[in-house]
């Protein structure tokens, strides 16, 4: 396949070089070399040739580039501690074409002097990066110049928000200058966009995750901004414009914004930051610079109206009355109208409303295999109306979970910052299909107010309500966070639920939690206690387990290799936890569950990572959770059922190993294998468990992406070796990007799930479960389901979209035979929406 054309940057302009030489006093050296300006195809001090010390001297190179006509006052070197940026203002127009050749870029402030953050912090960046910034009355502009050795840039023509595996640059804007949240704007070398919100809720990322990673941000939110980039022989260049209409910010004629720049380089796996950031700091957003003196910012009237039209045709099989045999296929077609309105009430408050919202663009959830089959799985919210401003409703313990609103008829929301507090208010009326009787209209209310206290400390109050007729469920909770000595955080929450069911009885129950954490560079810890009473209930949140008190203790040690070492970072998380029933904890009973494990993460040179997680656990079975279970007993010809008695305590031991490759030019992958003695909660006995989870990302070209996922889990009865549970989920996602605005996507997923008939270990007697009609025998179950979804999307900017899609659900008797496959449902949909923005002349390039 022919290599894509890599456009060359234009040669230096003699006048510009002369001005730079005159201003900086530089002259020809012995070799007769003239320092190159920003338009050059290589930096003055080449990252490939001159070594680390030379690579770090970016300030001299920027001065030679003619920044501000050679004015060093406009060069802000992060390593030198120049983090307060005086941003030039200009009312000149520029074309967003990925070329920083207009005169206004020569007058921009230049952010240089990047340092490494991940996997090792505090070292000069391996590759030079410059980010130029200036603003007008209506928008802020960024120009990125990132150097790299020839042929090493990773970039594809990806769909929006799908650039995490490309080289990219993140711009974090803390527009309220409160170090608590930041708008995230990220671009790959071709200017493809990813955006969202980064909110500091304490503690940073999970084990092995960089707190600068895109995975630590909510990238489901979309904003309207413009970007374009191009790959050069020695790196890439990107031009960005963010209108103030797309931002929320503080009120005031003159203001300062926090800013941080993160560069991700896939060939090395390194993350660099402009403002030096320590991995030992408990907050990432505290470690940033400032854009100072922004004045007279004009948003104008912020009013977005997005009408939506959808046509949906659903098909279901019909049957012969009385026989159950297939008779034909029936389709029902309906057209729906709806729409969204967004109004910027003030620069810091936004109101949203929706009528009959359509969520057809949301991709089906990826099939999951629960680690503990007793509890439900939390799936992320992806629906556009609910994700915008969702950081204002984030709560500990997931007390706000908007996926409980299944099919809203209408909803309204108010989010923003009031004085030194964050406000989130959402109300929704759900459709009749979500009601208990199929006729009602459940009403939801979510409200949260969080007050800032000092540097990243806060206190908050959350109230949720779901009401349907005379039934209701309400939760009120208060939480607080303290941030101190830069590495310590303390969090606490206490709340109560009140529930009235159809009998008129009201049940009240508490929830509480507290934890203390330290995020030192070489040593850290997190100690946590969580308790939820048996009667606690939330119909507006996601609390999968009640009736417990859990103690978690985690201590971490981290070791960092020397520069150039094969092993760059080694972190160990020593984990211990114990869980009691709620009453058992206060009665000082023995723990119901205990766990002891070590999670060792090795980050290797070149972007490889290996994770080892040995663990030993112990489980006793709470009889209250099996109160509805019965077991068959035979006495001669007499058959009866008696209460089921759970098995004795089970001890487990297992090992999980995960290996992840770097992002190569054409592929990347990871595989995790877990095995050992586990616990079977269905029959309350030990089991042998084996899990395999693998993913392979292929890039045959710059426009085609193939992502294959395989999940496999088996439970075998210990001692006899018979299969109890087996789940296999292969998934293929194929995307072909025609251009930045149009793509084809196919997603195919097969879910094969099989469970043997449940029985009492030792006797083999069958088990029954009490239901509304009496006793139901827990017989063997099997399902082999295939889902295929096709989509064509034309999306020039958020809110402006045309979708054409077809989806089909199928089943078969024998797994993966693909011979007697029958359709169980299918659907064809067409959606069109077009955002109209007051005062905007056009949507601009994505």
**CA neighbor of 212 nearest in space, from 82, 133, 119, 147:** 119
Alpha helices, DSSP H only, in 335-449? 384-387
Question: Residues 425, 431, 436, CA angle at the centre, nearest 5°?
Answer: 105
Q: Please, which residues have CB within 8 angstroms of residue 842's CB and are 6 or more apart in sequence?
A: none
CA distance 228 to 97: 6
Question: Is residue 222 situated within a structural domain?
Answer: yes
Hey, which of 30-39, 327-336, 760-769 has the most confident mean pLDDT? Answer: 760-769
Strand ranges, E, within 93-215 = 109-112, 115-118, 129-135, 139-147, 168-174, 181-187, 193-199
Q: Mean pLDDT, to the nearest integer, of 95-108? A: 96
More confident position, 168 or 59: 168
Question: Is residue 116 situated within a structural domain?
Answer: yes
Indicate whether 86 and 233 sit together in one domain.
yes
Query: In this predicted structure, what is the pLDDT of residue 37?
Result: 29
At residue 72, φ and ψ (nearest 5 deg) are -65, -15
Query: In this predicted structure, what is the pLDDT of residue 148?
Result: 97
362 pLDDT higher than 60: no
Query: In this predicted structure, what is the pLDDT of residue 504?
Result: 86
* 495, 525, 546 - which closes a domain: 546
- The confidence band for 372, taking pLDDT boundaries of 50, 70 and 90, is low
Q: Mean pLDDT, to the nearest integer, of 400-429? A: 93
**CA neighbor of 597 nearest in space, from 617, 568, 579:** 617
Indicate whether 392 and 277 sit together in one domain.
no
| Pairing mode of beta strands 638-643, 75-77 | unpaired
At residue 93, φ and ψ (nearest 5 deg) are -90, 145
> What dihedral do alpha carbons 169, 175, 180, 182 form, nearest 10°?
-30
DSSP H or E stretch at residue 326: strand 326-346
CA distance 196 to 220: 6
DSSP-assigned beta bridge partners for residue 699: none
Indicate whether 382 and 285 sit together in one domain.
no
Q: Please, which residues have CB within 8 angstroms of residue 371's CB and are 6 or more apart in sequence?
A: none
Question: Is residue 730 situated within a structural domain?
Answer: no
Residue-wise pLDDT tens digits, 214-225: 778 888 888 999
Question: Is residue 135 situated within a structural domain?
Answer: yes
Indicate whether 171 and 262 sit together in one domain.
yes
CA distance 106 to 612: 50
Range of the domain at 428: 378-546
Question: Is residue 28 situated within a structural domain?
Answer: yes
State the SS3 of 760-819: CCCCCCEEEEEECCEEEECCCEEEEEEEEEEEEEEEEECCEEEEEEEEEEEECCCCCCCC
Q: Is 55 helix (H, G, I), strand (E, B) or coil?
A: helix
367 pLDDT higher than 90: no
69 pLDDT higher than 50: no
Print burial letters for 74-90: b (CB count within 10 Å at least 16), e (below 16).
bbbbbbeebbebebbeb
Question: Is residue 840 situated within a structural domain?
Answer: no
Length of the chain: 846
Percent of the chain surpassing pLDDT 70: 87
Q: Mean pLDDT, to the nearest integer, of 396-416? A: 93
* 248, 266, 295 - which closes a domain: 295
* 484, 518, 546 - which closes a domain: 546
Indicate whether 404 and 499 sit together in one domain.
yes
Question: Is residue 137 situated within a structural domain?
Answer: yes
Judge whether 153 and 235 are in contact, CB under 8 Å: yes
52 pLDDT higher than 60: no
Q: What is the DSSP string of 670-701?
A: EEEEEEEEEEETTTTEEEEEEEEEEEEEE-SS
Indicate whether 414 and 275 sit together in one domain.
no
Indicate whether 117 and 256 sit together in one domain.
yes
56 pLDDT higher than 50: no
State the SS3 of 73-108: HHEEECCCCCCEEECCECCCCCCCCCCCCCHHHHCC
Mean pLDDT computed over every residue of the chain: 87
Query: In this predicted structure, what is the pLDDT of residue 320?
Result: 56
Residue-wise pLDDT tens digits, 263-274: 999 999 999 999
653 pLDDT higher than 80: yes
CA distance 638 to 538: 44
**CA neighbor of 754 nearest in space, from 809, 675, 813:** 813
Indicate whether 232 and 89 sit together in one domain.
yes
Question: Is residue 187 situated within a structural domain?
Answer: yes
- The confidence band for 204, taking pLDDT boundaries of 50, 70 and 90, is very low
Q: Mean pLDDT, to the nearest integer, of 403-420? A: 91
Indicate whether 260 and 138 sit together in one domain.
yes
Query: In this predicted structure, what is the pLDDT of residue 692?
Result: 98
DSSP H or E stretch at residue 554: strand 548-560
At residue 22, φ and ψ (nearest 5 deg) are -65, -40
Q: Mean pLDDT, to the nearest integer, of 542-571? A: 95
Q: Is 13 helix (H, G, I), strand (E, B) or coil?
A: coil
Indicate whether 284 and 398 sit together in one domain.
no
Q: Is 294 helix (H, G, I), strand (E, B) or coil?
A: strand
CATH of the domain at 215: 2.60.40.1190
CA-based Rg of the chain, rounded to a whole angstrom?
Answer: 29
| Pairing mode of beta strands 457-468, 471-484 | antiparallel
| Pairing mode of beta strands 548-560, 836-837 | unpaired
Q: Mean pLDDT, to the nearest integer, of 437-452? A: 92
Instruction: Work out the widest C-alpha separation in the chain, in whole angstroms.
Output: 108
Residue-wise pLDDT tens digits, 756-795: 999 999 899 999 998 777 889 999 999 999 999 999 999 9
More confident position, 502 or 828: 828
Q: What is the DSSP string of 611-639?
A: EEEEEEEEE---GGGGTTEEEEEEETTEE
* Count of H-run helices and E-run strands, the chain: 6, 43
Residue-wise pLDDT tens digits, 295-331: 999 998 999 999 999 898 988 888 755 555 556 788 8
846 pLDDT higher than 60: no
Q: Mean pLDDT, to the nearest integer, of 326-344? A: 86
Query: In this predicted structure, what is the pLDDT of residue 550?
Result: 98
Q: What is the total count of domains within the chain?
A: 2
Indicate whether 30 and 152 sit together in one domain.
yes
Query: In this predicted structure, what is the pLDDT of residue 388?
Result: 81
At residue 689, φ and ψ (nearest 5 deg) are -120, 140
Residue-wise pLDDT tens digits, 697-729: 999 999 999 999 999 999 999 988 899 999 999
Q: How far is CA 456 from CA 214, 282, 484, 652, in A?
A: 21, 10, 9, 41
Indicate whether 59 and 159 sit together in one domain.
yes
């Amino acid at each position: 396949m022919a290599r894509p054309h890599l456009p060359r940057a234009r040669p230096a302009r003699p006048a510009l070089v002369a001005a730079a030489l005159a201003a900086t006093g530089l002259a020809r050296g012995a070799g007769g070399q003239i320092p190159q300006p920003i338009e050059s195809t290589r930096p003055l001090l080449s990252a490939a040739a001159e070594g680390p010390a030379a690579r770090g001297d970016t300030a001299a190179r920027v001065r030679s580039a003619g920044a501000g006509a050679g004015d060093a006052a406009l060069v802000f070197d992060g390593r030198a501690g120049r983090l307060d940026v005086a941003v030039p203002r200009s009312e000149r127009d520029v074309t967003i074409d990925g070329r920083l050749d207009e005169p206004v870029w020569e007058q921009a402030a230049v952010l240089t002097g990047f340092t490494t953050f991940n996997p090792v912090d505090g070292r000069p960046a391996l590759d030079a990066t410059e980010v130029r910034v200036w603003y007008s009355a209506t928008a802020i502009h960024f120009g990125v110049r990132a150097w790299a050795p020839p042929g090493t840039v990773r970039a594809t023509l990806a769909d929006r928000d799908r650039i995490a595996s490309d080289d990219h640059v993140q711009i974090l804007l803390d527009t309220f200058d409160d170090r608590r949240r930041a708008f995230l704007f990220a671009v790959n070398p071709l200017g493809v966009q990813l955006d969202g919100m980064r909110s500091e809720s304490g503690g940073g990322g999970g084990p092995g995750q960089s707190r600068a990673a895109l995975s630590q941000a909510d990238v489901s939110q979309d904003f309207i901004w413009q970007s374009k980039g191009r790959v050069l022989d020695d790196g890439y260049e990107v031009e960005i414009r963010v209108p103030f209409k797309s931002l929320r910010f503080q009120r005031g004629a003159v203001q300062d914004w926090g800013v941080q720049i993160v560069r991700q380089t896939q060939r090395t796996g390194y993350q660099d930051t402009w403002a030096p950031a320590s991995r030992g700091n408990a907050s990432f957003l505290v470690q940033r610079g400032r854009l100072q003196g922004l004045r007279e910012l004009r948003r104008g009237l912020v009013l977005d109206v997005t009408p939506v039209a959808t046509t949906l045709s659903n098909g279901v099989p019909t049957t012969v009355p009385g026989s159950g045999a297939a008779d034909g296929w029936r389709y029902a077609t309906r057209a729906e109208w709806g729409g969204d309105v967004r109004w910027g009430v003030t620069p810091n408050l936004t109101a949203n409303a929706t009528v009959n919202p359509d969520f057809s663009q949301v991709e089906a959830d990826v099939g999951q295999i629960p680690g503990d089959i007793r509890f439900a799985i939390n799936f992320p919210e992806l629906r556009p109306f609910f994700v915008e401003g969702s950081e204002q409703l984030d709560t500990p313990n997931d007390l706000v979970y908007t996926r409980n609103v299944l099919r809203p008829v209408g909803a309204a929301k108010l989010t923003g910052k009031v004085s030194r507090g964050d406000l989130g208010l959402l109300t929704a009326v759900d459709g009749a299909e979500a009601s208990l009787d199929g006729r009602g209209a459940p009403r939801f209310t979510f409200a949260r107010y969080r007050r800032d206290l000092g540097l990243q400390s806060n206190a908050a109050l959350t109230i949720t309500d779901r009401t349907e007729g005379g039934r209701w469920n309400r939760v009120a909770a208060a939480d607080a966070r303290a941030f101190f000595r830069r590495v310590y955080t303390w969090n606490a929450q206490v709340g109560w639920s009140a529930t009235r069911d159809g009998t008129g009885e009201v049940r009240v129950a508490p929830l509480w939690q507290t934890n203390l954490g330290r995020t030192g560079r070489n040593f850290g810890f997190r100690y946590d206690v969580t308790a939820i009473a048996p009667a606690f209930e939330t119909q507006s949140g996601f609390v999968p387990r009640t009736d417990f008190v859990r103690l978690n203790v985690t201590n971490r040690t981290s070791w960092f290799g020397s520069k150039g070492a094969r092993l760059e970072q080694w972190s160990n998380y020593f984990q211990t936890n114990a869980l009691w029933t709620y009453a058992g904890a206060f009665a000082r009973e023995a723990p119901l569950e205990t766990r002891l494990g070590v999670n060792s993460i090795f980050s290797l040179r070149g972007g490889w990572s290996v994770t080892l997680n040995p663990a030993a656990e112990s489980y006793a079975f709470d009889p209250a959770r099996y109160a509805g279970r019965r077991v068959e007993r035979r006495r001669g010809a007499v058959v009866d059922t008696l209460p089921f008695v759970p098995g004795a305590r089970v001890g487990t031991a297992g090992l999980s190993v995960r290996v992840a490759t770097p992002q190569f030019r054409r592929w990347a992958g990871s595989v995790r294998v877990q095995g050992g003695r586990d616990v079977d909660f269905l029959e309350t006995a030990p089991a042998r468990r084996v899990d395999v989870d693998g993913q392979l990302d292929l890039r045959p070209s710059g426009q085609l992406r193939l992502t294959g996922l395989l999940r496999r889990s088996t439970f075998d009865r210990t001692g006899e070796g018979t299969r109890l549970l087996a789940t296999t989920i292969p998934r293929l996602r194929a995307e072909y990007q025609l251009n930045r605005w149009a793509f084809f996507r196919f997603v195919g997923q097969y879910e094969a799930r099989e469970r043997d008939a449940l029985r009492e270990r030792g006797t083999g007697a069958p088990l029954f479960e009490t239901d509304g009609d009496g006793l139901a025998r827990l017989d063997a179950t099997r399902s082999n389901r295939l889902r295929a979804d096709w989509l064509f999307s034309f999306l020039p900017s958020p809110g402006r979209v045309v979708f054409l899609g077809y989806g089909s659900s199928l089943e078969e008797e024998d797994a993966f035979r693909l011979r007697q496959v029958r359709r169980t449902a299918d659907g064809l949909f067409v959606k069109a929406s077009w955002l109209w923005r007051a005062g905007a002349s056009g949507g601009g390039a994505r």
